[in-house]
Amino acid sequence: MAVIGQVVTIVAVLVGALTTHVTNHLMERQRMKYVMLTRWDERKLDAYAGYIDHVRTCIYAAVLLYEVRHDLRRMDRSEEELTLALAEAEGSRGRAFERVMLLAENQVIEAAHVVNQAAAAVDWQARGATEGTLQGWRDLHKAVFQAINNFHEAARDDLGVNGIFHGVEHSSRDLVLPRMARENEA
């Protein structure tokens, strides 16, 4: 009988050790899965934020060029220098877009394509490749900022950010124009 008691004890210890090993393995596997998911989410967030930062830099460069070309602003930089700055900003935007393409899901990629199209329209008018009125210029900006807001919504969904974001409310705000332009419009 004493032998049976010892065998039962040894079996219980082995079962306990095996159970502990399996539990630790499963927990470690789950932890690694979470770490990988978090790592990709951090990289996605960096890519999305970087992309929008480059889009906004490009828009700002286009605004400077447009305002100088249409005598809405005076600067020490020439039109040629501003055109080169816009081209450089466009290149940065393109590289940032590629990072989004590598990391994002389809909904975010589609939203980024729309942002690129809207931003390109702003760039083209700033350069003079397309012509338009000041109101047309303002409409292009409203369109690009609506596209940015749609990108934000898609990115928030992809990252699992809770809360409601109403992009239409943000896009409906008017552009801030230099004093001279407001006076000439009236």
CATH number at residue 56: 1.20.120
Higher pLDDT, 115 or 70: 115
Question: What backbone torsions phi and psi does residue 25 show, to the nearest 5 degrees?
Answer: -60, -45
Could you give the number of structural domains in the chain? Answer: 1
Has residue 157 been placed in a domain? Answer: yes
Has residue 62 been placed in a domain? Answer: yes
Taking CA atoms, 95 is separated from 25, 101, 117, 155, in Å, by: 40, 10, 15, 18
Has residue 131 been placed in a domain? Answer: yes
Higher pLDDT, 91 or 183: 91
Query: What is the number of residues in the chain?
Result: 186
**Does the structure show a pLDDT above 70 at 48?**
yes
Structure tokens at 68: 């100088």
Taking CA atoms, 54 is separated from 5, 57, 124, 134, in Å, by: 73, 5, 17, 24
The CA distance from 150 to 166, in Å, is 9
Q: Which residue has the tokens 């001279």?
A: 180
Has residue 172 been placed in a domain? Answer: yes
Q: What is the mean pLDDT of residues 162-168?
A: 65
Residue 38, judged by CB atoms within 10 A of its CB (0-12, 13-18, 19+), counts as: exposed
The CA distance from 9 to 85, in Å, is 78
Has residue 41 been placed in a domain? Answer: no
Has residue 155 been placed in a domain? Answer: yes
Whether residue 149 contacts residue 171, with contact meaning beta carbons closer than 8 Å, is answered with: yes
Range of the domain at 59: 46-185
Has residue 85 been placed in a domain? Answer: yes
The pLDDT value given to residue 6: 82
**Does the structure show a pLDDT above 90 at 54?**
yes
Has residue 30 been placed in a domain? Answer: no
Most confident of 9-23, 27-41, 134-148, 160-174: 134-148
**Does the structure show a pLDDT above 60 at 31?**
yes
**Does the structure show a pLDDT above 60 at 121?**
yes
* Model confidence, pTM: 0.72
Q: What is the mean pLDDT of residues 160-181?
A: 60
